[in-house]
A and B are shown apart, each in its own frame.
Chain A
Amino acid sequence: MITVPQLFFAYFAVAMTVLSLLVITAKNPVNSVLWMLALFFHIAGLYLFLNAEFLAAVQLILYAGAILVLFLFVIMMLNVKDEIIGKRFIKGWPVGIALVMSILAVIYFPISRLIQGPAGQYTIEAIRAETNSKVLGRVLYTDYLFPFEVASLILLIAIVGAMVLAKRRA
């Protein structure tokens, strides 16, 4: 018997696979970006499905709203006419497929042997009672404060680096 959640998951899984294929096979890079936008919406939907509403919102704000817009910016500014006329696949594609298949196998074997770990403090009920964003914030700022600060420092360095590179000639 297929339940409603299973149907939802099936839709998201199939749609995400199809959209990812469209992203890499679209002839025009602008179309690729637009397919990727649809893909990001589906990823956000999948996060909602996992009771991770905060991640879903951040997925849309950061990936769809900021990063992908900048992608689109760059692609529109570049002259992409060559890509549209030229061949989309290089000669060595059989080698590429073989490599991807072997990586897939490497990923598949560990996953097929996964065993579920012991349930922690944050069960679905606990997260629902406290709301996802609060729980996430607490975990990030207590248990994982150091890695969190390290990650923000790395991002800050990237921002400063970008500014230094852009302003050097001026």
Chain B
Amino acid sequence: MDNYAIYDGLYAILGIPRDCSLLLQFIAIMINIVLVIAVVMLHVAYATYFERKVIGHMQVRLGPMRVGWHGLLQPIADGLKLFFKEDIVPATDFKAVFKLAPIFVVFAALSSLAVIPFFSTFYIANINIGILYILAISAVSTYGIIMAGWASNSKYAFLGSLRSAAQLISYEVAMGLSLVGIMIMAGSLNLKEIVSAQQQQWYGMYLFPQFLGFFVFTVAAFAETNRVPFDLPEAETELVAGYFAEYSGMRFSLFFLGEYIAMIVMSSMSVLCFWGGWTLPPVITNAIPQLNMVPGIVWFVLKVYGHIFVFYWVRATLPRYRYDYLMRLGWKVLIPLALANIVITSIVKYLA
């Protein structure tokens, strides 16, 4: 472990020597961060388009068709519209908190991107506690939602935020426990090392030995990102729009942005921990060596989009859960399952 490990990514690509001046290091890090944020923002914009198209076709509609060819410019038109809408702040004692809440949500979602390795040599920071960092950030992102609900001075928003806080705390436990199996198998909390540990196995993905953990993680990821069937914090039929009912214009779209970035981060986590990240299973690459020529980012993006597609598929298929079922599922099914997974994994690891 040398001190420069965190700048590894762009250094390797641009060929900057590691012992260059502080200013150059700073510039390299900044370029790296801006690049990642810009690319992810673009993906978020088109993830909304992808979602509307997927759900549209699942419901035998066409989805957006008007703006551009097959509605391709729709996300840009939506963004422009939201940007120019009136920004309304309700009468409340907590104006500063009200304005801070959406920024907090986006800040939390974006800062998770810092530790995600997109392929073997490209990441912002390669830290030893990658998994814990993501869990910590997703734990802290609850505050944005609670602050929004509290500062909105509205009962619907407040109820939505209380629901959300309880839901996120409950499912964080299950999510953390479901990843313990991965940590035991890989012997590391570093996301990059977890991917290379998966390469050591012939099947190349922890998905197979850790299917229980994967199931718990996926369900918890739906709850953590407030997606259907666990979108109770924003249940339209009960709570208008939940915690962001009082927000409009740009501030509303920041919540939207935060949700989609969180979805991308959760999908990336799932891909890195269970699907072998940017690598393919050694069985396949040994059978077809030509696949080694394809850059890793292709597999990573394909897997992430496959995962995001599951989010949309479930949204088009399942109705919303009732709140007490949600809590019961979290505490009485997922947490015991995750604990059982830990016990089984440790025994197998001990015997092997």
Contacts and interface: CB of A to CB of B under 8 A. Distances in A.
Contacts of B188: 131
A133 B128 contact: yes
Interface string A122-133: 000000110111
Contacts of A155: none
Interface string B135-166: 11101101100110010000000100010011
Interface stretch (A12-20, A69-77, A89-97, A144-152): A69-77
B139 A66 contact: yes
Interface of B: 1, 93-94, 97, 127-129, 132-133, 135-137, 139-140, 142-143, 146-147, 150, 158, 162, 165-166, 169, 172, 176, 188-190
A65 B172 contact: yes
A70 B169 CA distance: 9
B223 to A, nearest CB: 15
A48 to B, nearest CB: 10
A34 B96 CA distance: 12
Given A54-B132, A58-B132, A60-B136, 4 more contacts: A37-B140, A54-B129, A69-B143, A133-B132
A132 B165 CA distance: 31
A66 B169 contact: yes
Given A66-B139, A129-B1, A76 B128 contact: no
B1 A128 contact: yes
Main secondary structure of the interface of B (DSSP, over half): helix
A60 B140 contact: yes
A78 to B, nearest CB: 13
B16 to A, nearest CB: 20
Nearest to A129: B1
Contact of B135 (A31, A61, A128): A61
A66 B129 contact: no
Contacts of A57: 129, 132-133, 135-136
Main secondary structure of the interface of A (DSSP, over half): helix
Contacts of A61: 132, 135-136, 139, 172, 176
A132 B1 CA distance: 12
Contact of A65 (B97, B133, B139): B139
A154 B94 CA distance: 39
Contacts of A53: 127-129
Given A57-B129, A61-B132, A69 B1 contact: no
Interface string A42-63: 0000000000011011101100
Nearest to B93: A28
Contact of B146 (A64, A72, A132): A72
B129 A133 contact: yes
Contacts of B137: 60
A60 B147 contact: no
A64 B140 contact: yes
Interface of A: 28, 30-31, 34, 37, 53-54, 56-58, 60-61, 64-66, 69-70, 72-73, 76, 128-129, 131-133
A69 B165 contact: yes
B127 A69 contact: no
A128 B5 CA distance: 12
24 contacts: A28-B93, A30-B94, A30-B150, A34-B143, A34-B147, A37-B143, A57-B132, A58-B132, A60-B136, A60-B137, A60-B139, A61-B132, A65-B136, A65-B169, A66-B172, A69-B142, A69-B169, A72-B143, A72-B146, A72-B165, A73-B162, A76-B158, A129-B1, A132-B128
B128 A65 contact: no
A103 B137 CA distance: 37
A131 B132 contact: no
A129 B3 CA distance: 11
A72 B97 CA distance: 14
B31 to A, nearest CB: 22
Contacts of B128: 53, 131-133
A157 to B, nearest CB: 19
Nearest to A60: B136
A61 to B, nearest CB: 5
Contact of A133 (B135, B165, B189): B189
B149 to A, nearest CB: 9
A34 B147 CA distance: 9
A72 B146 CA distance: 9
A73 B165 CA distance: 8
Contacts of A30: 94, 97, 150
A61 B188 CA distance: 18
Given A65-B139, A66-B169, A129-B1, A34 B97 contact: yes
A28 B165 CA distance: 20
Nearest to A131: B128
The 9 A-B residue pairs whose C-beta atoms are closest, nearest first, are A65-B139, A57-B132, A60-B136, A131-B128, A61-B136, A57-B136, A53-B129, A57-B129, A128-B1
